[in-house]
Amino acid sequence: MQNFVFHNPTKIIFGKNTIAAIGSETAQLGKRALLVYGKTSCKKSGSYDQVTRALTEAGVSVIEHGGVRSNPTLDHVRSGIKKAREHGCDVIVALGGGSVIDSAKAISAGAVVDHDVWKFFTGKKSIKKNLPLTTVLTIAAAGSEMNSGMVITNEQTREKFGFGNKRLFPRVSILDPEITFTVPADYTAYGAVDAISHVLEFYMTTRDLATPVQDRLMEGLIENSMDACNRCLQTPDDYNARADLMWTATLALNGLTAAGLGRVGFPMHMIEHSLSALYDIPHGAGLSIIIPGWLAWFSGHSPRRVAQLGKRVFGKSIAGLQTEEQQAMATCRALKKWFDSVHSPTSLSAVSIPATDIPAIAENALKLAKVWRLSEYTRERIEEILHRCL
Amino acid sequence: MQNFVFHNPTKIIFGKNTIAAIGSETAQLGKRALLVYGKTSCKKSGSYDQVTRALTEAGVSVIEHGGVRSNPTLDHVRSGIKKAREHGCDVIVALGGGSVIDSAKAISAGAVVDHDVWKFFTGKKSIKKNLPLTTVLTIAAAGSEMNSGMVITNEQTREKFGFGNKRLFPRVSILDPEITFTVPADYTAYGAVDAISHVLEFYMTTRDLATPVQDRLMEGLIENSMDACNRCLQTPDDYNARADLMWTATLALNGLTAAGLGRVGFPMHMIEHSLSALYDIPHGAGLSIIIPGWLAWFSGHSPRRVAQLGKRVFGKSIAGLQTEEQQAMATCRALKKWFDSVHSPTSLSAVSIPATDIPAIAENALKLAKVWRLSEYTRERIEEILHRCL
In this structure, of A34-48, A327-341, B220-234, the range with the lowest mean pLDDT score is: A34-48
CB contact under 8 A, A7 and B5: no
Predicted pLDDT of residue B209: 84
Residues B212-234 have a mean pLDDT of: 97
Measured distance CA(B347)–CA(B355) in Å, rounded: 11
Contact assignment for A5 to B12 by CB distance below 8 Å? yes
Are residues A77 and A93 located together in one domain of the fold?
yes
The letter for the amino acid at A199 is V
CATH code of the domain covering residue B347 = 1.20.1090.10
* Mean predicted confidence (pLDDT) in B13-26: 98
- With bands split at pLDDT 50, 70 and 90, how would you rate the model's confidence at B160? confident
Is the Cβ–Cβ distance between A364 and A278 less than 8 Å? yes
Mean predicted confidence (pLDDT) in B348-367: 96
Rounded average pLDDT over A343-365: 96
Owning domain of residue A108: 11-179
- pLDDT of A371: 86
Q: How many angstroms away from the CA of B352 is the closest CA of chain A?
A: 36
Q: Is B173 in contact with B143 (CB distance < 8 Å)?
A: no
In this structure, the number of other CB atoms found within 10 A of the CB of residue A195 comes to 30
Whether residue A4 lies inside any domain: the answer is: no
Give domain status of residue B83, yes or no.
yes
Report yes or no: A24 at the B interface, CB cutoff 8 Å: no
Q: What is the DSSP letter of A125?
A: S
pLDDT in tens, B287-324: 999 999 999 999 999 999 999 999 999 988 899 999 99
Q: pLDDT at residue A34 above 90?
A: yes
Domain match, A164 and A148 both: yes
Which of the listed residues B154, B179, B204 is the one where a domain comes to its end?
Answer: B179
Determine, yes or no, domain membership for B5.
no
Contact B162, B111 (CB under 8 A): no
Q: Specify the pairing of strand B32-37 against strand B61-65.
A: parallel
Shared domain check, A201 and A174: no
Tens digits of residue pLDDT in B335-346: 999 999 999 999
Residues facing B93 on adjacent strands:
B35, B134
CA distance A197 to A201: 6
* Structural domain ending residue among the three candidates A133, A149, A179: A179
**Chains A–B, number of C-beta pairs less than 8 Å apart:** 119
The string of DSSP codes covering A126-188 is: -------EEEEE-SSS--GGGSSEEEEEETTTTEEEEEE-GGGS-SEEEE-GGGGGGS-HHHH
**What are the distances in angstroms from CA B227 to CA B183, B305, B315?**
17, 21, 14
Is the backbone of residue B343 left (phi > 0), alpha (psi -120 to 50) or beta? left
In a domain, B2, yes or no: no
| pLDDT (0 to 100) of residue B241 | 98
Q: How confident is the model at residue B276 (pLDDT cuts 50, 70, 90)?
A: confident
d(CA A165, CA A123): 11
| Confidence band for A277, pLDDT divided at 50, 70 and 90 | confident
Nearest chain B Cα to A209, which residue?
B240
**CATH label of the domain that carries residue A137:** 3.40.50.1970
Chain A CB contacts of B312 below 8 Å: none
Q: Look at residue B6 and tell me if it is in a domain.
A: no
- Kindly indicate the confidence band of residue A276, based on its pLDDT and cuts at 50, 70 and 90: confident
Average pLDDT over residues A282-297: 97
B178-196 average pLDDT score: 97
Q: What is the C-alpha separation between B194 and B71, in angstroms, rounded?
A: 13
CA B109, chain centre distance (Å)? 19
Determine which helix (DSSP H) or strand (DSSP E) holds A269, and give its type and residue range: helix A267-279
- Is residue A5, in this structure, part of any structural domain at all? no
Do residues A212 and A228 make contact, with C-beta atoms less than 8 angstroms apart?
A: no
- Rounded mean pLDDT, B243-256: 98
Q: Read off the pLDDT of each residue in A287-315 and give the average, rounded to a whole number.
A: 96
Q: Which residue among B13, B223, B247 places its CB closest to the CB of A5? A: B13
Q: How many CB atoms lie within 10 A of CB A228?
A: 27
- Which residue type sits at A168? L
Confidence class for position B261, pLDDT limits 50, 70, 90: very high
Q: What is the pLDDT of residues A100-149, one digit of tens each?
A: 999 999 999 999 999 999 999 999 999 999 999 999 999 999 999 999 99
What pLDDT, on a 0 to 100 scale, did the predictor assign at position B258? 95
User: For A137, how many CA atoms within 13 A lie in the half-sphere containing its CB?
Assistant: 30
Least confident of A121-125, A386-390, B242-246: A121-125
Among the candidates B130, B146, B179, a domain finishes at B179
Can you name the residues that pair with A62 across neighbouring β-strands?
A33
**Rg of chain A, C-alpha, whole Å:** 20
Q: What is the pLDDT of residue A40?
A: 85
- Find the CB nearest A213 among B1, B16, B251: B251
**Do B137 and B236 fall within a single domain?**
no
pLDDT value of position B280: 84
Can you tell me the mean pLDDT for A151-169? Answer: 93
Q: How many domains does chain A have?
A: 2
Which of B9, B213, B260 has the CB atom closest to A14's CB atom?
B260
| pLDDT tens-digit readout, A207-226 | 888 999 999 999 999 999 99
3-state secondary structure at position A106: helix
Same domain, A229 and A293: yes
Cβ neighbours around A333 below 10 Å, total:
16
Mean per-residue pLDDT over chain A, rounded: 96
> Do A161 and A38 belong to one domain?
yes
Q: Which of A17, A213, A225 would best serve as a mutation to test chain B binding (most B beta carbons within 10 A)? A: A213
- Residue B170 shares a structural domain with residue B217: no
Say if residue B189 is in the same domain as residue B175: no
B295 vs B293: CA distance, rounded Å: 5
Percentage of chain B with pLDDT > 70? Answer: 100
Considering only the beta carbons, identify the residue of A216, A251, A260 that sits closest to B224: A216
Q: Based on the fold, state whether residues A270 and A375 are members of the same structural domain.
A: yes
Confidence at residue B194, expressed as pLDDT on a 0 to 100 scale: 97
CA-based nearest residue to B23, from B49, B47, B46, B57: B57
Q: Are residues A175 and A214 in the same domain?
A: no
Among all residues of chain B, which has the CA nearest to that of A225?
A: B213
SS3 track for chain B: CCCEEECCCCEEEECCCCCCHHHHHHHCCCCEEEEEECCCHHHHHCHHHHHHHHHHHCCCEEEEECCCCCCCEHHHHHHHHHHHHHCCCCEEEEEECHHHHHHHHHHHHHCCCCCCCHHHHCCCCCCCCCCCEEEEECCCCCCHHHCCEEEEEECCCCEEEEEECHHHCCCEEEECHHHHHHCCHHHHHHHHHHHHHHHHHHHHHCCCCCCHHHHHHHHHHHHHHHHHHHHHHHCCCCHHHHHHHHHHHHHCCCCCCCCCCCCCCCHHHHHHHHHHHHHCCCHHHHHHHHHHHHHHHHHHHCHHHHHHHHHHHHCHHHHCCCCHHHHHHHHHHHHHHHHHHCCCCCCCHHHCCCHHHHHHHHHHHHHHHHHCCCCCCCHHHHHHHHHHCC
Domain annotation covers residue A49: yes
Q: How many residues does chain A have?
A: 390
Asked if B58 and B23 touch (Cβ cutoff 8 Å), the reply is yes
Does A24 score more than 90 pLDDT? yes
H or E element in which residue A62 lies? strand A61-65
Q: How much is the average pLDDT of A348-376?
A: 94
- Bridge partners, B173 (sequence order): B12, B135
Same domain, A249 and A369: yes
Average pLDDT over residues B57-61: 98
Domain identity same for B203 and B174 = no
Pairing of strands A159-164, A149-154: antiparallel
Residue A5 DSSP SS3: strand
For residues A232 and A241, give the distance between their C-alpha atoms in angstroms, rounded to a whole number. Answer: 5
Tell me if B244 and A213 make a contact (CB, 8 A cut-off).
Answer: yes
Q: Is the pLDDT of residue A316 over 90?
A: no
Within a 13 Å sphere around the CA of B113, how many CA atoms are in the beta-carbon half? Answer: 18
Residues contacting residue A100 through CB under 8 Å, at least 6 positions apart: A36, A37, A38, A68, A72, A94, A138
| B382 within a domain of the structure (yes/no) | yes
Query: How are strands ordered across the β-sheet holding B61-65?
Result: A4-6, B11-14, B172-175, B133-137, B91-96, B32-37, B61-65
How many C-beta atoms surround the C-beta of residue A67 within 10 A? 15
